[in-house]
């Protein structure tokens, strides 16, 4: 196999991009450290691709299967009000999917995490979510390993 | 075939949700009317499903193929700086994908469209994008019809 294409100026080609939860041949999962949203993961395509439509059909299916597996594990563990999925990449145009558990008590709900906050953060409830994340990380790694190389 | 499941309280079960560009058996494409972002489309799953992980593997693949087809047609027609994809659904928990062409001159770039604006809108350039949309709508409908029922 040839090495994935890399862009020397791209931070997601150079670095994991967060706390690595699982790494496979095609993609990796990291847990982000975004204030106010403890259960905020990113599925990052390993090779440098800017847009989802740059992937082959097979690769796109694989990428979105991984996103769905991560989403499902987060739903099972956290029972959030909603999962938010987004591939923006305006600042880092290397395909990465934000997978974010939203709760109706979080500082921005039902607005997007990129909007202005609607209320104060709830430190106790955030800590309650955070306390579940080491177990969730392990479940995520197990589920991804069961499906992907 | 049985009718898709519908939720009587759901606006995306009751209405198209925007200017209909194309409708298929499983999904539809609408063009939204979001101020400042003329090339803002939504791929809406016809049946009521809250989360991507509620779809079968086959349906998820089909849904994301449609998103990629829309994205590719938008890139071909508009050569945007970036495409943004998002399935949030905090307010309307019925699976819909925002597919948004972003330009480096738009009012929010490189922030998300849900963030605070970074500069004034450029009416002339917005009009330049808007002038291409009737042709893009036709191309989108043609490409989707070629692939999906």
pLDDT at residue number A7? 83
**Residue B6 belongs to some domain of the structure:** no
Contacts of A116 in chain B (CB under 8 A): 116
Contact A88 B93 (CB under 8 A): no
| pLDDT over threshold 50, residue B35 | yes
Dist. CA B58–CA B55, nearest whole Å = 8
**Structural domain includes residue A4:** no
Residue B1 lies in a domain: no
Please give the distance of CA B98 from its chain centroid, rounded to a whole number. Answer: 4
Query: Which residues of chain A carry a pLDDT beneath 70?
Result: 1-5
Q: Is residue A3 part of a domain?
A: no
Q: What is the Cα A77 distance to its own chain's centre?
A: 15
**Residue from the list A51, A65, A111 with its beta carbon closest to the beta carbon of B71:** A51
Residue A112 is nearest to which of B65, B82, B114, comparing CB atoms? B114
CA-CA-CA-CA torsion sign (B147, A54, A43, B114): negative
pLDDT at A6: 77
Is the Cβ of B107 closer than 8 Å to some Cβ of chain A?
no
| Domains in chain B, number | 1
Tell me the pLDDT tens digit for each residue of A89-129: 999 999 999 999 999 999 999 999 999 999 999 999 999 99
CATH code of residue A25:
3.30.428.10
Q: Which domain holds residue A66?
A: 11-147
Confirm whether B41 is domain-assigned.
Answer: yes
Q: With an 8 Å Cβ cutoff, are B102 and A112 in contact? A: no
Q: What is the pLDDT of residues B96-144, one digit of tens each?
A: 999 999 999 999 999 999 999 999 999 999 999 999 999 999 999 999 9
**Does a structural domain hold residue A2?**
no
- The pLDDT confidence band at residue B7, using thresholds 50, 70 and 90, is confident
Per-residue model confidence (pLDDT) at position A4: 57
Q: Which chain A residues are Cβ-neighbours of B91 within 8 angstroms?
A: 110
Does any domain span residue B5?
no
ipTM over the 0.90 cut-off: yes
Does residue B139 sit at the A interface (CB-CB below 8 Å)?
Answer: no
- Please work out, in degrees rounded to the nearest 5, the angle formed at the alpha carbon of residue B63 by the alpha carbons of B56 and B96: 105
Mapped to the 3 state alphabet, what secondary structure does A63-100 carry? HHHHHHHHHHHHHHHHCCCEEEEEECCCCCCCCEEEEE
The shortest CB-CB distance from B52 to any of A71, A102, A115 is to A71
Our CA-based measurement puts residue B90 at a distance from the nearest CA of chain A, in whole angstroms, of 5
Question: Strand runs (DSSP E) across B4-149, as ranges?
Answer: 19-23, 27-31, 40-45, 82-87, 96-102
The minimum CA-CA distance between B68 and chain A, rounded to whole Å, is 5
User: Does some domain include residue A67?
Assistant: yes
Distance from CA of A110 to the nearest CA of B (A): 5
User: Which residues does chain A have within 8 Å of residue B64's beta carbon, measured at their own beta carbons?
Assistant: 52, 60-61, 64
Supply the pTM of this predicted model. Answer: 0.96
């Amino acid at each position: 196999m040839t090495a994935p294409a890399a862009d020397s100026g791209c931070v997601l080609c150079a670095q994991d991009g967060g706390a690595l939860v699982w790494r496979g041949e095609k993609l990796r999962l990291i847990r982000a450290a975004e204030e106010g949203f403890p259960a905020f993961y990113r599925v990052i395509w390993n090779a440098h691709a800017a847009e989802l439509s740059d992937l082959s059909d097979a690769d796109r299916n694989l990428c979105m299967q991984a996103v769905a597996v991560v989403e499902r594990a987060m739903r099972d563990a956290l029972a959030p009000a909603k999962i938010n999925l987004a591939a923006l990449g305006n600042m880092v145009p290397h395909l990465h999917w934000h997978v974010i558990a939203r709760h109706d008590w979080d500082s921005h709900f039902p607005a997007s995490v990129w909007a202005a906050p609607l209320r104060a953060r709830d430190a106790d409830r955030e800590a309650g979510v955070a306390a579940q994340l080491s177990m969730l990380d392990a479940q995520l790694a197990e589920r991804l390993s069961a499906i992907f190389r």
